[in-house]
């Protein structure tokens, strides 16, 4: 932002806390905005003091703040219209998942009378009011962004979202034929009355509620009304496109077509009301402990997926002017109230904008990312002989700036290489047409021993993962379908190869999924190594998660659920002790989410001891920075931009001899207690410097960054002139090894380097701890 006045305006519109909208609304003129949010203002105001006094920020309210940062990208004038529509669509997709999982989880407490106390200090019922008030505020903002920021730009691109009244007679004829030919045969009206049970309506699907009456009956008799539901098939495109002779593209929403043609489904029946709505159901479920065979475990997952499709309704979106009679019927049926009902002023479900974004006529207006560059210190030619290159030293891959191709090629070469004896891999999410799966299938066909721990509980990927895992098993791979009590979230690959000098293992340790599609969109790190210590640790870890081994020691790994939290806390406490003793100290952590209360409390103590703490947390952050006497030495920033920040890095200054870890885990209760996770130490000096440089760039970014304030608000970092801007989503394509080797964090506090630097940590457990 060019100046502080604009920054403050942006805070009010996009990054204000849950309750700032109360003050805003008192100043608004009547009719300026729909009244729906006002119904909850007084209730929200009563809860604000409790929330703001807490030393912790609510996980769910913090997530909503993250989605505001996504929505802010749709406001950005530096982006094209189509990029801005993309971010609006993403914010709506995010909200659907949040409603299904987090709001669904809240209802698991409400519906079964279980107690729950949020980090904000609120119990389950008052927190429900606070949360839904915040979601109403957010959806209001989405509508405003679409109406005021995006729609006015459509005409510049000869683009229009058309209504029936906008169509010429010939165009209406064309659209009518499309309805008769394509839509009509797919529709199935579902009647609900005293002879028909209430139909099962699908979540995240556009549905018409049709109120009808037989024409011969007396119109005054209200009891003659009947209601039926028509679901719009999800495999139909949301828009029918008309290209006019003047070059204008008109996108007609499918609901607009159906609204004017639906009478064809109701012959000799009067349609009294016709309203579009959409529901989101509770999608949160957990797999119970199960000691039976794997087939029973898979059956349980499949049964839970069916439960998700029939879960209780937690959110309903409706058009403006929906009839009270219909609304009351649906609210009563689904046991919801006004908090759960959201009135949309424009399109229901902004994810439909993807169809416009991906239209061929606009391909040139969505700028592609730059081409990936080779890993630092490695040429493209060297990467062609991947096994030999790894032998020469550890290689850091930083995606998407570095291609994911080396990992794919490593697996594909291993599948064909007669020297390769075995391949071990953990899989959490895969691409739909995965080269990973194909390589593993080929390896099995070629007689190699292939072991795959396939996490079938990866949320919303359960069915795809089960299908792919069963393909591998049929091909002869040794497949473990996850572990019932835990999700396997660690990202590890090991290839065992017989060479002239003996058997050598090559490994890949990473923060991101083995998914070649998301690797183009998510920032992640991966380490390619044949270091014996890494491989010994990884072999031990695979024996733990596929067998029944309990090793006492890992040298380079921190693992969960065993000891990761404990070891991270020790590292934090050591920095606090150094600061207390007047020694150089510092902590810099880059993660997706910070929610674990024990870790946060240790960071507070370290701050009070004088440790400078720099946190880079993309999403949820329950730590409250900058509070006097609590967290004055902590800053938190979030980076949201062209790529989704997915990298996890933990840096501890250690008197100038930094200890640096990367891996798959966030600082969350689920990561430490309910997932199989791993963090790995960076020991190669060159690679460690590259990782430190990643953190340094993240702290310097002034284009994609937002600062978290003590009151829970986020503010956009002040943007500089173009020549002074620092955009990491562009700069990382041009970084040099020389620059990385010079990078230091907390440089002003670095003492003279000791001649005998402390070795990298060895994690040792007593027999009782193991």
Q: Which residues are catalytic?
A: 489
The C-alpha atoms of residue 364 and residue 84 are separated, in whole angstroms, by: 15
341-344 and 313-319 beta bridge pairing:
parallel
Using CA atoms, how far residue 149 sits from 73, 74, 166, 579, in Å, is 11, 8, 22, 49
Q: How far apart are the first and last CA of the chain?
A: 52
Q: Confirm if 636 and 617 have CB atoms less than 8 A apart.
A: yes
For CA atoms 324, 328, 330, 334, the dihedral sign is positive
**Three-state secondary-structure class, residue 618:** coil
Strand (E) or helix (H) holding 210: strand 207-214
Q: How far apart are CA 591 and CA 511, in angstroms?
A: 10
Q: Is the dihedral of CA 620, 626, 632, 634 positive or negative?
A: positive
Per DSSP, helices labelled H in 145-210 are 151-154, 169-178
> In this structure, are strands 714-716 and 705-708 parallel, antiparallel, or unpaired?
antiparallel
**Contact partners, residue 532, CB within 8 Å, separation at least 6:** none
| Residue 357: how many other CB atoms lie within 10 Å | 18
DSSP track, 645-695? E---EEEE-GGGS-EEEEES--BSHHHHHSEEEEEEE--SHHHHHHHHHHH
- Residue 338: name the closest of 115, 709, 718, 36 by CA: 36
Nearest to 351 by CA among 153, 70, 107: 70
User: How far is residue 362 from each of residues 150, 161, 256, measured CA to CA in Å?
Assistant: 15, 15, 23
Pairing of strands 207-214, 269-281: antiparallel
């Amino acid at each position: 932002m060019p100046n502080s006045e604009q920054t403050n305006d942006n805070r009010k519109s996009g990054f204000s806390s849950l309750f700032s909208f109360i003050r805003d609304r008192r100043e608004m003129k009547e009719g300026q905005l729909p009244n729906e949010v006002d119904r909850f203002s007084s209730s929200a105001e009563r809860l604000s003091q409790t929330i703001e006094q807490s030393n912790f920020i609510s996980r769910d309210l913090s997530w909503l703040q993250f989605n505001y940062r996504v929505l802010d990208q749709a406001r950005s004038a530096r982006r094209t219209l189509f990029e801005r529509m993309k971010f609006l669509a993403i914010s709506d997709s995010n909200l659907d998942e949040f409603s299904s999982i987090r709001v669904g989880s809240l209802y698991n407490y409400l519906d079964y009378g279980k107690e729950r106390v949020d980090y904000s200090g609120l119990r389950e019922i008052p927190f429900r009011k606070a949360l839904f008030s915040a979601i109403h505020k957010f959806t209001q903002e989405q509508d405003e962004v679409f109406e005021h920021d995006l729609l006015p730009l459509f005409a510049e691109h000869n683009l229009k979202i058309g209504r029936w009244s906008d169509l010429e007679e010939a165009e209406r004829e064309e659209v009518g034929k499309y309805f008769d030919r394509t839509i009509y045969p797919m529709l199935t009206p579902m009647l609900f009355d005293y002879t028909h049970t209430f139909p099962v309506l699908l979540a995240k699907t556009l549905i018409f509620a049709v109120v009808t009456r037989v024409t011969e009956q007396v119109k005054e008799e209200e009891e003659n009304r009947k209601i039926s539901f028509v679901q719009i098939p999800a495999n139909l495109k949301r828009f029918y496109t008309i290209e006019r002779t003047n070059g204008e593209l008109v996108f007609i929403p499918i609901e607009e077509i159906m609204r004017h043609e639906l009478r064809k489904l109701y012959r000799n029946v009067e349609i009294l009301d016709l309203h579009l709505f959409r529901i989101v159901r509770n999608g949160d479920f957990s797999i119970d402990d199960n000691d039976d065979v794997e087939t029973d475990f898979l059956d349980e997952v499949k049964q839970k997926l069916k439960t998700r499709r029939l879960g209780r309704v937690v959110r309903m979106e409706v058009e403006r002017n929906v009839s009270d009679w219909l609304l009351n019927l649906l609210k009563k049926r689904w046991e919801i109230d006004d908090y759960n009902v959201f009135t949309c002023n424009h399109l229901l479900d902004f994810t439909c904008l993807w169809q416009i974004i991906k239209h061929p006529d606009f391909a040139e207006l969505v700028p592609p990312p730059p081409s990936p560059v080779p890993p630092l210190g490695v040429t493209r030619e060297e990467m062609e002989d991947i096994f030999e290159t790894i032998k020469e030293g550890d290689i850091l891959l930083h995606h998407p700036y570095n291609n994911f191709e080396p990992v794919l090629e490593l697996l594909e070469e291993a599948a064909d290489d007669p020297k390769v004896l075995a391949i071990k891999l953990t899989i959490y999410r895969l691409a739909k047409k995965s080269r990973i799966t194909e390589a593993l299938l080929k390896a099995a066909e070629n007689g190699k021993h292939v072991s795959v721990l396939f996490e079938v509980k990866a949320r919303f990927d359960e069915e795809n993962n089960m299908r792919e895992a069963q393909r591998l098993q049929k091909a002869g791979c040794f497949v473990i379908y996850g572990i019932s009590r835990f999700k396997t979230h660690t990202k590890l690959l090991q290839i065992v190869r017989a060479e002239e000098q003996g058997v050598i293992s090559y490994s890949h340790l990473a923060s991101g999924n083995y998914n070649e599609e998301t690797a183009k969109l998510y920032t992640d790190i991966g380490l390619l190594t044949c270091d014996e210590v890494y491989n010994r640790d990884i072999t031990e870890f695979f024996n733990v998660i596929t067998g029944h081994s309990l090793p006492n020691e890992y040298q380079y790994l921190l693992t969960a659920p065993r000891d990761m939290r404990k070891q991270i806390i020790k590292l934090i406490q050591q920095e606090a002790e150094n600061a207390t003793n007047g020694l150089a100290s510092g902590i810099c952590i880059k993660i997706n989410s910070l929610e674990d209360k024990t870790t946060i409390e240790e960071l507070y103590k370290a701050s009070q001891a004088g440790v400078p703490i720099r946190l880079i947390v993309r999403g949820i952050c329950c730590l409250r920075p900058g509070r006097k006497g609590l967290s004055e030495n902590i800053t938190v920033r979030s980076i949201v931009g062209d790529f989704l920040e997915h990298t996890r890095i933990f840096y501890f200054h250690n008197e100038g001899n930094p200890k640096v870890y990367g891996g798959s885990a966030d600082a969350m209760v689920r990561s430490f207690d309910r997932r199989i996770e791993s963090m790995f130490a960076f020991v190669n000096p060159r690679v460690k410097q590259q990782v430190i440089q990643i953190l340094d760039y993240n702290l310097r970014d002034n284009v994609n960054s937002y600062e978290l304030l003590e009151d829970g608000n986020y503010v956009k970092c002040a943007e500089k002139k173009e020549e002074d801007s620092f955009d990491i989503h562009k700069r990382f394509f041009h970084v040099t090894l020389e620059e990385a080797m010079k990078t230091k964090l907390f440089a002003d506090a670095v003492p003279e380097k000791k001649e005998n630097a402390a070795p990298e940590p060895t994690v040792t457990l007593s027999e009782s701890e193991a």
